[in-house]
Amino acid sequence: MDLSPFQRRRYLSGKTPIEHLFRLSALLGGPQIYVKRDDIMGLSAGGNKTRKLEFLMADAIAQGADTVITCGAVQSNHCRLTLSAAVKEGMRCHLVVEERVKGSYDPHASGNNFLFHLLGVSGITVVPGGTDMKVAMEDVARDLRHQGSKSYIIPGGGSNALGSLGYAACAQEILEQSFDQNTHFDALVCASGSGGTHSGLLAGFHGNHADIPIYGIDVKNPASTQTELINKLTQETCDLLDLPPIPADTVRCNDEYVGPGYSLPTESMVEAVDLLAKTEGILLDPVYTGKAMAGLLGLVRQSVFPKNANVLFLHTGGSPALYAYTPLFYEHWRETETAYEHRAQVM
């Protein structure tokens, strides 16, 4: 697999670490759980979109754009990181924010919304859930063009074939680290949303002849819809890399942990976020990695992985969104931990 023909900006200073989660593994009684820390990459507060933006921003610059336009939900990590990359490149950034849950947009909200303004967003267009986001972004681009700007549109999540190259490169990085650490990974678990991360990993392992099963935990779509999306985007990424197609049965999408819908909390997500913080000191987010970790825990409890397996969890970041969900966790602690009230009284 050759990535050298593609232009690329560098927002990472090296490989992100792979950590062995000893305490969580012991608590579960096996398998051995590892985490790939893509939550601590460059740009503002880190996250998986950074890898995609290395290729997408290089293309925007090559095309002479002075503004990037992208889209996401009201607490979008992708929007935060695209804006951060634009700041680093001296470009403007306009966000199209989809109110996927009616009434959920608050212009004064904390979390990523606060960071949009701190980073100096050029403009935010809020649209109702179900809007055709491609059309909405093209409308913004047309308006900006009339003002003399040249815009470059980045799809939601940075998830097209070019953006997916970021995770084809990550797959290669994981294999190098696996060799260096003398640790073979029997499976990888990641969140599966807009699809670029999941598809890029599939293409990257395929391009490096590595047969590591990837379990995508859906955070938005039913499994049938997500499987179709991942198959299509993986094929487009393989085409870009001049690779043969992957077998269709390679794509694994699990929708048991979506709950009532995208960004809507579930008990298993709250448990997963709370558990990883208290066992390993690692922060997950409520929308992506919290549900993905809930999926990993569920697969472990269903004995999907042998007790002696090594399972790698891809931490795609997103912890700033936690601060928009604080009431949910305080309520969880009140309901489940009598010690919480004791600690509060002592303090």
pLDDT tens per residue, range 250-264: 999 999 999 999 999
Is pLDDT at 345 greater than 70 in this prediction?
Answer: no
Average pLDDT of 294-300? 98
Which of 13, 25, 44, 76 does the annotation list as catalytic? 76
Assign 336 a pLDDT band (cuts: 50, 70, 90).
confident
- Which of these, 313, 36, 11, 331, lies nearest to 188 by C-alpha position? 313
| Lowest model confidence (mean pLDDT) among 113-122, 225-234, 337-346 | 337-346
User: What are the structural domains of the chain?
Assistant: 18-46+160-339 (3.40.50.1100), 49-158 (3.40.50.1100)
User: For residues 341 and 334, is the Cβ–Cβ distance under 8 A?
Assistant: yes
Task: Give the pLDDT of residue 335.
Answer: 86
Average pLDDT of 39-62? 95
Task: Give the pLDDT of residue 74.
Answer: 94
Alpha helices (H) in the chain, listed in sequence order: 22-28, 49-62, 77-89, 112-118, 133-146, 161-181, 196-207, 223-240, 267-280, 289-301, 326-336, 338-346
Average pLDDT of 284-312? 97
Task: Give the pLDDT of residue 339.
Answer: 47
Told to judge if 104 belongs to the known catalytic residues of this protein, a careful annotator would answer no
| Lowest model confidence (mean pLDDT) among 49-53, 136-140, 170-174, 247-251 | 247-251
Average pLDDT of 110-119? 95
Average per-residue pLDDT in the chain? 95
Is pLDDT at 122 greater than 50 in this prediction?
Answer: yes
31 upstream amide cis, omega within 30 of 0: yes
Task: Give the pLDDT of residue 248.
Answer: 79
Is pLDDT at 94 greater than 50 in this prediction?
Answer: yes
Strands 32-37 and 310-315: what pairing? Answer: parallel
pLDDT tens for 166-185 read 999 999 999 999 999 999 99
Cβ-based neighbour number of residue 115 at 10 Å: 22
Q: Which helix (H) or strand (E) holds 187?
A: strand 187-192
Q: Which helix (H) or strand (E) holds 33?
A: strand 32-37
pTM of the model: 0.94
